[in-house]
Amino acid sequence: MIARTGAGPLRRLVVLRHAKSAWPAGVADHERPLAPRGRRDAPAAGRALVEADCLPDLALCSTAVRARQTWELASAEWGTPPPVHRDPRLYAAEVTDLLTAVHEVSAEVETLLLVGHNPGLEELVLELAGDGLDDALDEVRVKFPTAAIAVLAWHGSTWDALAPGTALLTTMIVPRGRKDGKKKG
């Protein structure tokens, strides 16, 4: 079990891998859009965040088309989406790049959403999680698929205090949209 540092409020880092992308011929990787399944799964991710009571105060999003589209479709499921900062450093980012972006976030933000790509996001979750509830850590170790959501909780007065092993992985969700377009009820 991770030791609580005790300093500061409870903060949550919500990590969302972009939804399933298409591979159109002649399109650069950065410009690849969502596939039909991704267009179904991204809104499902937005609904899952509502159900988990994990709506962010701020979102950091990769500039890649598939990440931006995931953000747009997921956040459209909320009443009023929070501000979003599109950060080119998040595209094909490694753990150190992702942590640098997170460490720069204002202390006023208590719940931060990070929308990006694998393998960086999966590695970030595994690096930060000192422990996990239920089998959440094992699920991430097996696979962090498209549209997956991981929620890491920790106590800290500023985001730059978030360090390897200091967070608790509280949630691992893999939302999927329905092909008929109807919401699960």
Summarised one tens digit per residue, pLDDT across range 107-129 is 999 999 999 999 999 999 999 99
pLDDT computed for residue 179 by the predictor = 72
pLDDT computed for residue 2 by the predictor = 43
pLDDT computed for residue 9 by the predictor = 85
pLDDT computed for residue 180 by the predictor = 62
Q: What is the pTM of this model?
A: 0.91
Sheet hosting strand 10-17, strand order edge to edge = 84-86, 58-61, 111-116, 10-17, 149-155, 167-173, 129-132
pLDDT computed for residue 18 by the predictor = 98
pLDDT computed for residue 5 by the predictor = 47
pLDDT computed for residue 6 by the predictor = 53
- In angstroms, what CA-CA distances link 1 with 4, 141, 164? 9, 17, 14
Low-confidence ranges of the chain (pLDDT < 70): 1-7, 180-185
pLDDT computed for residue 123 by the predictor = 97
- In angstroms, what CA-CA distances link 116 with 86, 145, 148? 10, 12, 11
